[in-house]
Amino acid sequence: MKLKMALDEKKLDLRLRDRLVAEGKVTQTELNKFFKDLKDETGNYKVVDPSARLQDEQ
Give the type of residue at 46.
K
Beta strands in the chain (DSSP E): none
SS3 call for 13: coil
- Give yes or no for a contact between 34 and 12, defined as CB atoms under 8 angstroms apart: yes
7-34 pLDDT, tens digit each: 777 878 888 888 889 999 889 998 899 8
* pLDDT at residue 51, as a whole number: 81
Q: Is the pTM of this model over 0.75?
A: no
The C-alpha angle with vertex 27 and arms to 23 and 30, in degrees rounded to 5, equals 140
* pLDDT at residue 3, as a whole number: 81
